[in-house]
């Protein structure tokens, strides 16, 4: 698959795809005889995995380390597992914080709806002040 097609499929710019390859996030992509990149299914899977990790807030340096380890043998499983577990913990903590924020927002919305309903009832004369 050509770089333009991969860019369209992943939502990444061509520049970003080249950058990710250059810094080792997606490994070395096969080249055609004319030097153009030829992305295979494994390359696309790797890119999508990188995008999910980025979307989950993992720093590029950690993703790069993970991808370097993934190129190795089974001796790196423990370190890969640790990287993912550490990030899982960070994501879960972030989700907890977001849940707290969401609860606060919901409570505030309920409070303002109650005020609004009271004001409407007072205007309509269904309750007195």
* Overall pTM surpassing 0.95 (yes/no): no
Residues 64, 1, single domain; the answer is yes
Judgement on whether residues 65 and 82 belong to the same structural domain of the protein: no
The verdict on 61 and 104 lying in the same domain is: no
CA distances from residue 57 to 54, 68, 81, 85 in whole angstroms, order as listed: 5, 19, 17, 14
5: CATH? 1.10.1660.10
Per-residue pLDDT of the chain (129 residues; tens, 9 = 90+): 999 999 999 999 999 999 999 998 998 899 999 999 999 999 999 999 999 999 999 999 999 999 999 988 889 999 999 999 999 999 999 999 999 999 999 999 999 999 999 999 999 887 766
Give every CB contact of residue 7 below 8 A, 6+ residues apart in sequence: 13, 14, 17
Residue 128's pLDDT is what?
67
> Domain range spanning residue 45?
1-71
Considering the domain architecture, whether residues 6 and 50 belong to the same structural domain is answered as yes
How many whole angstroms separate alpha carbon 101 and alpha carbon 99?
A: 5
Total number of domains constituting the chain = 2
Regarding whether 80 and 65 lie in a shared domain, the answer is no
């Amino acid at each position: 698959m050509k770089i333009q097609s991969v860019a369209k499929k992943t939502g990444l710019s061509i520049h970003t795809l080249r950058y990710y390859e250059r810094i080792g996030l997606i490994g070395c992509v096969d080249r055609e005889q004319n030097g153009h990149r030829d992305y295979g299914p494994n390359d696309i899977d790797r890119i999508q995995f990188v995008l999910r990790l980025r979307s989950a807030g993992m720093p590029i340096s950690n993703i790069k380390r993970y991808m370097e380890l993934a190129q190795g043998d089974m001796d790196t499983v423990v370190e890969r597992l640790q990287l993912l577990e550490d990030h899982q913990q960070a994501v879960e903590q972030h989700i907890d914080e977001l849940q707290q924020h969401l609860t606060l927002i919901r409570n505030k919305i309920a409070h303002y709806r109650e005020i609004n309903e009271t004001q409407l009832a007072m205007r309509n004369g269904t309750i007195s002040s």
